[in-house]
Structure 1
Amino acid sequence: MFDPVQLRTFLTVAQTLSFTQAAHRLGLRQSTVSQQVRKLEAAAGRQLFGRDTHGVELTEDGEAMLGFARTILEANERAANWFTGTRLRGRLRFGASEDFVLTRLPEILEGFRRDHPEVDLELTVELSGTLHERLRAGRLDLVLAKRSEDRPQGRLVWRDRLVWIGGERLRIDPDRPVPLIVFPPPGLTRARALEVLERHGRPWRIVCTSGSLNGLVAAARAGLGVMAHTRGLIPPGLVRVPERAGLPDLGAVDFVLLHGERGRRDGPARAAAEALAAAVLAGGDRLQRAPSR
């Protein structure tokens, strides 16, 4: 009933909430993307997107279609792999920042391991800045991380905003330096937080540094201070710092997939990297649409 090509286009638009960005990612004309979405809406007999001058949003039926589309496409891929006898093999060195590993990434990796059991997957969990460095050094084949300002390349998975978070009882004294809970260098959220505070002339002091997200979350829950974090991935027990605290806006952050040289040139590694990249992109709507707190 539903065309897999149209379903993939639908998922891409849902991930980006932009027909223009979806067309760029898919290598299609924007008119083609719009046409495929209209055909899918006609097949479903429901409107899947709400469109106005401000942007694109999923309708209630569009939200429902997300789960159906993923299930249909995953089933198609498993069936195709079974009957064509294709089996991915080789070693794949994948790096992901801790934000993802503690939230939605496990289900994506579980599906990849189920579909490609002969791929030797090596997972590295690190700060985004460290992952970028290891990718440049040839120590990783594929990376899922925040976009680095000095490396603007990469396939967009989703975009979110950085916000200040802390414990529910935390109160910020406007007459004292902002107490910061941060990753060590080269953490990208750390760099953004310090740059924004400096630009707005807001004094700050570091009260906790940890290379582990669990360590940062524990410090924040204890009320030691505030931390910069992705709005859609706020850990349980922490909340957004209210605007009345007067902390400056941290702006948006992009989460991207980047291929290393070996992941582009080596045959088995390239095939495995492309398969995992496709799984991450297909699940990007789950990450992007994680409930905000």
Structure 2
Amino acid sequence: MFDPVLLKSFVALADTLSFTDAARTLSLSQPTISQHIRKLEAAAGRILVLRDTRAVSLTDNGEAMLGFARAILAAEDQAVNYFTGSAMRGRLRFGSADDLALTQLPGILRDFRQLYPQINLELTVSQSGALVRRLKAGQLDLIFVKQDAGAEGGQLVRRDRMVWIGHKSMNMDAASPVPLILYQAPSLGREYAMRALEAGGRTWRITCNVKEVNGALAAVRAGIGIAVFPQSLIPADLAQVPASFELPELGDVDFVLLNNPMVAREPVDALSAAILSRPVQRRS
């Protein structure tokens, strides 16, 4: 009975109380807005808008129509989104390594949500090792994690280098034990650090144990020590430890996707494609 085109003009007029502003909002002419209001009043059989040379106001019937109009237009938007969006539905239990979640994930998930609004996404952010264990236990469907470069399994997103990072004003004696900020075991970054220092014959001391990436970065920013981090993800206010400190090379790391083969493929493949389509970028 009530044409949505007419309702949109009516809502714009009610919001602005100006035919000129309503026309500008909808990119229509002022006479068109006036015509829409007259047609809507004819359809309702009621006067909805009071007009004079100085002001525009809604009648009691106009106030009632405004509530109905907003509800009708909202329902129309939901119907359009439902039928024009992806038909893919279901639940997707997704896990991401915490450093990747901070840097890469927001844009990926925003794009994915726009394409697949009917998928119920359950997000877990943790360390890579913990996510792998949960995937193997059937508690997750897809994970985006780090693993040793060249390790078997998983779909490679990109290869990066693990490096030592510290505060830009760091001052460390090359002859002293290396002050380390480490994740609690088990941790891939911890393994990289220990393996490299042992192979290089360097002594170290753990100055801070952390459970997640925000704690590690806070400790580095406080100058408590140095940490291991993917080179492409180094925050702009921190720096790679200079070669003059004579720290051993850490080697490469792979960013990979691992999936549970026992779950529905469509949601897993859709999010995998969204991740693969986005280059891993340096964090700002």
Return the TM-score normalized by structure 2. 0.68
Distance, in Å, in 1 between the alignment partners of 2:237 and 2:267 is 37
Moved segments of 4+, more than 4 Å: 148-151
Q: Which residue of 2 aligns with 1:113?
A: 113
Q: Which residue of 2 aligns with 1:279?
A: 274
The amino acid that maps onto 1:258 is L
Q: Which residue of 2 aligns with 1:191?
A: 191
Distance, in Å, in 2 between the alignment partners of 1:161 and 1:149 is 9
Q: Is the 8 A contact 2:165 2:239 kept in 1?
A: yes
The amino acid that maps onto 2:154 is G
Q: Is the 8 A contact 1:138 1:261 kept in 2?
A: no
Q: Which residue of 1 aligns with 2:200?
A: 200
Question: Is 1:290 aligned with 2:275?
Answer: no
| Aligned residue-pair number | 203
SS of match in other structure, 1:102: helix
How far does residue 278 in structure 1 lie from its aligned partner after superposition? Answer: 0.4
How far does residue 117 in structure 1 lie from its aligned partner after superposition? Answer: 1.1
Q: Is the 8 A contact 1:129 1:148 kept in 2?
A: no
Distance, in Å, in 2 between the alignment partners of 1:147 and 1:247 is 22
Q: Which runs of 5+ in 1 are unaligned?
A: 1-80, 264-268
Distance, in Å, in 2 between the alignment partners of 1:183 and 1:90 is 34
How far does residue 261 in structure 1 lie from its aligned partner after superposition? Answer: 3.1
Distance, in Å, in 2 between the alignment partners of 1:128 and 1:105 is 15
Question: Is 1:235 aligned with 2:235?
Answer: yes
How far does residue 148 in structure 1 lie from its aligned partner after superposition? Answer: 4.9
Distance, in Å, in 1 between the alignment partners of 2:144 and 2:152 is 13
Q: Which residue of 1 aligns with 2:22?
A: none
Q: Which runs of 5+ in 2 are unaligned?
A: 1-81
Q: Is the 8 A contact 1:166 1:239 kept in 2?
A: yes
The amino acid that maps onto 1:278 is A
Q: Is the 8 A contact 2:150 2:254 kept in 1?
A: no
SS of match in other structure, 2:103: coil
Distance, in Å, in 2 between the alignment partners of 1:194 and 1:152 is 22
Map 1:69-148 onto structure 2 (within 5 A): 86-148=86-148
Q: Which residue of 1 aligns with 2:211?
A: 211
The amino acid that maps onto 1:281 is L
Q: Which residue of 1 aligns with 2:75?
A: none
Call closer, same or farther: CA 1:221–1:160 in 2, change over 3 Å.
same
- String of CA shifts for 1:160-200, please: whole Å, max 9, x gaps: 10110000111121222100001111211111111110111
Call closer, same or farther: CA 1:149–1:163 in 2, change over 3 Å.
closer
How far does residue 105 in structure 1 lie from its aligned partner after superposition? Answer: 1.3
Cα RMSD (Å) = 2.0
